[in-house]
Structure 1
Amino acid sequence: MGVQPLRALRIVACLMLAALLAACASPSRRAPVEERSAVVRAPAAAASAPAEPVKPPPPGIENLGKPGYYAVKPGDTMIRIGLETGQNWRDIAKWNNIENPNVIEVGQVLRVVAPGTDPTMASARGVTPPKVETRPLSASAPASAASAPAATASAPPSVGQIVAPLATPREPEDDLNWAWPASGPVVARFDDSGSKGLAIAGKAGDPVYAAADGRVVYAGSGLRGYGNLVIVKHNNTYLTAYAHNQTLLVKEEQVVKRGQKIAEMGSSDAERVQLHFEIRKQGKPIDPAKLLPQR
């Protein structure tokens, strides 16, 4: 083979090699890809997280709003509920089958009248309007002696006369012989919007007396704001509370008599030595000064 053909062959080979190298060096083209916007799907709640258990309604909720029942509020205790409803807290626990009186829940509805008792009777006491006897405005008189009574002790009322209202009969529950629970001066009086009783001043250790005959339904310090407290239930209508004592001299279920020493005055849960005294009628605070005798 001659020199010229060999040179031509080398040139062709170089050209082919250059073309091959150029093809390898050029960027490769990707297959066309269809671009789609990202779609974020929220996981289904039922599939990703277990459903929270449904909380059962508070016990007794079916009695909410009925007479003779009480809905537990935040901060309530059995002792406070007894004071607010005028009942022995132990009775309330028994009526509601509560084994642990420290375990009650907000919204729970409790029976606060004895089973078999008409709850409307207690709330209706003392509000019966006086009976008024009236005569019809008629000018006709008895036509004959045969239709008139044979004898009368007094002349009949004149036409249109209205007899004076009859006095409202007193309930037996109201016939209590009240006495002052302490001998000191009254330094704060009853106020519907504030103080629920009287504040009676004295010295630490002064005697505190039962204001009427009754039975002790609470003696302790479990009611916030009252310190060492005695509660005496006198009947189905009235109870009294004696707060801030230094020493308690009675225990629960003990029968006490009017004027019996039940505690010694102190300043427990108070800023000064005093007796805070309440009278509650069916659980509602009333002004003790209206029932206590004049000094």
Structure 2
Amino acid sequence: MLSDNQRGAGLMILTMAAFTLNDTCLKALAGHIPLFQILFMRGLLASLAVFVVARAMGLFDLRMSRSDAKWVALRVFGEVTAAYFFLTALFNMPLANATAILQAAPLTVTLAAALFMGMPVGWRRVSTIIVGFIGVLLIVRPGTDGFNIYSVFALISVLCVTLRDLATRKISGAVPSLTVTFLSASGVMASFGLASVAQDWVLPTGSQISLLLASTFFVVCGYTGSVMVMRVGEISYVAPFRYTGLVWALVLGFVVFGDWPMPLTLIGAGIVVGSGIYMLYREAQVKRAARVLLKTRGQGV
């Protein structure tokens, strides 16, 4: 019999596999269908699928406070910009490289939360963030032949994801997670639907439609799994398994596209992942210490 933590870890691994398979399907469409058209079509399909899932789970409710509406709007903006910058980078660089850079997002979220939200961050976590950024530099290697505008796009996507995640933290629990997901998917659909008007549309072939449908299936599975995983097991135990996404990216990048990162990229990715895992471990330690202190004070000790 699996424990809640083991089920949560398994769900997280499957969730990251779903997101990486989604990226793989989209990358396979690069050069065949314009990016804005891809994002509009996937956004449309994802919106419909998330709506059906949310209604079936009883988690669809568009009513929210003005404060929540503001943060949801900011989250949608982060989602839209992250989709554009990350997929532009993904279409022009190896899957594992783009995924490895994106793994820096937890570090930038912690840093931004300290700078803009007043979250206390000790010297250990500051040192971890610096080490993690060194790992990112090893991946993108500015000033070398391998560095180009798409490396910059991948870095910008990390900033967009940071904005999205910070906005998500400010949304109250009264707004169902799948409602937020639906609005994000709808925002992507609407934004890139408008942008795609300026592009020539391409009639997809049968295999390309299959890839779009597969991408939609995987991204909905990823979104649903990310909601479920937060309800199973301890977050401090489950969260580090999000980095299995890089393992999936390495395998799929090699099998599907024949790409394998350079040794320096692998070293940089290892540093970023190690920094992220330590950051999660350190945050869990701080939270446990705070709970113990609060409990002690409550007992009047």
TM-score (norm 1): 0.21
Greater length-normalized contact order (CA 8 Å, ≥ 6 residues apart): 2
TM-score (norm 2): 0.20
Q: Which of the pair is proportionally richer in helix?
A: 2
In our comparison, the structure showing a higher alpha carbon Rg is 1
